[in-house]
A and B are shown apart, each in its own frame.
Chain A
Amino acid sequence: MANTEAALQDAMTSIEGALGVALVDYGSGMALGTLGGSQTLDLNVAAAANTDVVRAKLRAMEMLNIQDSIEDILITLGSQYHLIRLLTGRGGTGLFLYLVLDGKRANLAMARHQLRRIEADLEV
């Protein structure tokens, strides 16, 4: 039964190569919590901008008439991975976790697995 700060802390310490993490409300694009980040990585700006990414993907799915939900979205940059995981929450909370990983140090499969666990900890 983690609180949000502990969940974000967990993500930063247990996920190898984590550079920043945010918990974002995609109805408004607001970060409800952030941890990490840097001068070149403003997580509040990233939260709002990535809300548009999620919305664009949902729109694409609707245009293609795909009746499914998004589990996660992976964006691969030259030196980073950006991972977006939509929370399914029993209350249908409309949130996603946004994780920025260092491409050299990250283990992508492990990171996805750990994000799933952190989501479960938040909601149980």
Chain B
Amino acid sequence: MTAGAAEAAGTTPVRPAVEDDPLARLAGEGATGALHGPVGALYLSDGAVVHAESPAAPDVGWRLTARGRLSPETWEEAVTQGGPGYRTGDFLVEHGRLSQGELELCHLSALFDAAYFVLYPLGDGQRPPERFLREARHWLGPVRPVTVPALQREVRRRRRLLEQAWPGAAVDAAPVVPVPDADRRRGRGAQAVCGRRAVLRAADGVRTPVQIARALGRPAFATLLDVRRLTALGLIRPPDPGTTEADRPLPEAPGVPETSLLIRIRDALEAL
């Protein structure tokens, strides 16, 4: 990572208002390239957003393959064959793997999902990207460009939706802990609807909302919204406001395979 103007400025607020970020300026210039940083990237073409990616949001390939709509081989073939010419999307449609409509819907849904996490990054101290790589293009190719004002409007609307559902942002990045009797309570009025049921089932006290979204192949924003709504219903325990990322104890599960591996190595050594 190079020390760009953004890092040097130092006085930039942790989370600048969407209006203040360079996106509006790039849109005004009709720029083409990628606005990128550690939290993801927004690809622009002639000032409109054509693609967004964030490590928090499942991308188009993951969405299409996680639920079996396309086989991983089919997706891989399209990326390999279509990617070098920036036309993976067109390749899928031309070879009858997807209809144009399906591609557009999947792509748009993934674009807005990732854009939310690029403009409102999870985690303390994370900022929207400020570096711009001119002329960078994405290998998926243009599908349906979105204007910057439309994107910013939608991202702000999503922000409001989350705040209305449950005002505490701490649940967004913390492990999702269901209350002990969540299942029983759900049966008695505190209902978990459609996607929320899957989210509640996937909540194991270790995985964060983003990890649950990935496991289920669902949009990350919708999962975040479900987690906030489930918290408001009292089915998920809100994280203790006193704990921050740094002093929260590490979840036990990731350590488990290592311990078992050590035990197996010890047993093997003893058996020698």
Contacts and interface: CB of A to CB of B under 8 A. Distances in A.
Interface of A: 1-4, 6-7, 23, 25, 27-30, 32, 48, 55, 58-59, 62-63, 89-95, 121-124
Residue among B100, B101, B104 with max Cβ neighbours from chain A (10 Å):
B101
A95 B104 CA distance: 13
A91 B69 contact: yes
B102 A123 contact: yes
A28 B219 contact: yes
Contacts of B191: 59, 62-63
B67 A95 contact: no
Interface size grouping (class) on chain B:
20 to 34
Interface stretch (B15-23, B35-43, B153-161, B173-181): B153-161
Given A27-B219, A28-B161, A30-B154, A3 B101 contact: yes
B100 A3 contact: yes
A29 B221 CA distance: 11
Contacts of A63: 189, 191
Interface string B162-192: 0000000000000000000000000001011
Contacts, number: 84
Contact of A7 (B101, B109, B192, B218): B101
B112 A3 contact: no
B105 A55 contact: no
Contacts of A58: 193-194
A94 B101 contact: no
Contacts of A4: 101, 104-105, 144
Interface string B211-236: 00000001101100100000000000
Q: Is the interface of B mostly helix, strand, loop or mixed?
A: helix
Nearest to B144: A4
A29 B161 contact: yes
Contacts of A95: 105
Given A32-B108, A91-B67, A92-B67, A27 B101 contact: no
Given A1-B100, A3-B100, A90-B69, A32 B105 contact: yes
Contact of B102 (A6, A25, A94, A122): A122
Contacts of A91: 63-64, 67, 69, 102, 106
Interface in B68-112: 69, 93, 99-102, 104-106, 108-109, 112
B195 interface: yes
Contacts of B102: 89, 91, 93, 122-123
A30 B99 contact: no
A65 to B, nearest CB: 9
A30 B219 contact: no
Residue among B105, B144, B193, B197 with max Cβ neighbours from chain A (10 Å):
B105
Contacts of B112: 25, 28, 30
Contacts of B69: 90-91
B19 to A, nearest CB: 20
Contacts of B63: 91
Residue among B100, B144, B195, B218 with max Cβ neighbours from chain A (10 Å):
B100
B157 A122 contact: no
A30 B144 CA distance: 15
A87 to B, nearest CB: 9
Nearest to B66: A91
A59 B229 CA distance: 13
